[in-house]
């Protein structure tokens, strides 16, 4: 049996379903980040996620929710018959649904990103995910509202489960809370002129200790991580608006357009202006 893949995009929203019989060969060996929220539901098999240097084993029926601009990679295991549904959710799709007792974006910011769901929740969520597929594919009247409604229903269910006594935290192999805080800080402040020394002062640690620990935990230097976050945001800006390259460089915290262009080309293989032209053809 061959690998099955089904994928639908609606603007910056993407949903994909992959089913691979036997031992999975699907790998994502390089660290990367997305400007969208990531929703990963494992129907069958097993998957290893490395998130900011922390390892999580995602098993059948587990759900993983990942915040925007978080560095991660995934690899397969020897557990056969891998099947998953993955959603890339732009902030604009869910951030209008904020209430005094529920903010859907909070679901992507729990301390532990993996949820081992009860069977009843697995069934409901799987049904809702396939309903989202149908809405995105057929695009009948009101399909965007239907997608939003289904997403919010899923996230409310996950949020309630996370707050319940039944919720069992899926433990990681190791975690460094200080580095996790710094990663979150970078994700919220990447548009400012950050530096290793400035962040070290912010967190009251030495620059040498921060550099050494960040590399050990994430596998990247702090500046490499910062540049990945910025380049991912730059890709979105280049595709979606008409700001000049220098305006984008300034908006992302780069002091010079030359430095921004060098970093962007190293990460993407293209200069910012060439990337813009290619994505608008």
Q: Which residue ranges form the domains of the chain, and what is each CATH number?
A: 4-163 (2.60.120.280), 177-279 (1.10.10.60)
Mark 21-30 as b/e (b = at least 16 C-beta within 10 Å).
eeebeeeeee
pLDDT tens readout for residues 101-123: 899 999 998 878 999 988 999 99
Confidence at residue 232, expressed as pLDDT on a 0 to 100 scale: 82
Determine if the pTM surpasses 0.85. no
Quick: pLDDT tens for 77-105.
888 889 999 999 999 999 888 888 899 99
The pLDDT assigned to 217 comes to 74
What is the pLDDT at residue 215? 84
pLDDT given at position 26: 65
Mean pLDDT score, 135-145: 96
Q: Which band of pLDDT confidence, cut at 50, 70 and 90, is reported for residue 179?
A: confident
Please list, residue by residue across 226-265, b when 16 or more beta carbons sit within 10 angstroms of its beta carbon and e when fewer do.
bbbbbbbbbbebbeeeeeebeebbbebbbeebeebbebbe
Confidence of residue 28 (pLDDT cuts 50, 70, 90): low
Chain centroid, CA 281 distance in Å: 27
Residue 173 pLDDT level (bands cut at 50, 70, 90): very low
Mean pLDDT along residues 37-59: 89
């Amino acid at each position: 049996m061959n690998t099955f893949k089904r994928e639908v995009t609606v603007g910056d929203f993407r949903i994909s379903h992959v089913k691979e019989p036997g031992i999975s060969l699907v790998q994502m060996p390089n660290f990367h980040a997305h400007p969208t929220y990531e929703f990963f539901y494992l129907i069958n098999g097993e998957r290893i996620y490395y998130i900011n240097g922390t390892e999580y084993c995602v098993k059948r029926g587990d759900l993983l929710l990942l915040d925007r601009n978080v560095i991660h990679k995934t690899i397969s295991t020897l557990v056969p018959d891998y099947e998953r549904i993955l959603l890339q959710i732009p902030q604009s799709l869910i951030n209008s649904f904020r209430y005094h007792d529920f903010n859907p974006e909070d679901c992507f910011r729990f301390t532990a990103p993996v949820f081992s769901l009860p069977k009843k929740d697995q069934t409901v969520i799987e049904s809702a995910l396939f309903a989202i597929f149908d809405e995105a594919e057929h695009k009948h009247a009101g399909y965007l509202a239907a997608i939003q409604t289904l997403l919010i229903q899923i996230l409310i269910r996950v949020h309630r489960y996370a707050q319940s006594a039944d919720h069992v935290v899926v433990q990681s192999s190791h975690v460094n809370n200080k580095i996790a805080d710094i990663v979150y800080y970078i994700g919220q402040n990447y548009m400012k002129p950050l530096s290793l020394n400035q962040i070290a002062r912010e967190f009251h640690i030495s620059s040498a200790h921060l550099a050494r620990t960040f590399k050990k935990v994430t596998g990247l230097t702090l500046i490499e991580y910062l540049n990945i976050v910025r380049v991912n945001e730059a890709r979105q800006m280049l595709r979606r608006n008409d700001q000049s390259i220098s305006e984008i460089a300034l908006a992302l915290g780069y002091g010079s357009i030359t430095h921004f262009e060098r970093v962007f080309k190293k990460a993407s293989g293209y200069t910012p202006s060439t990337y813009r032209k290619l994505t608008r053809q």
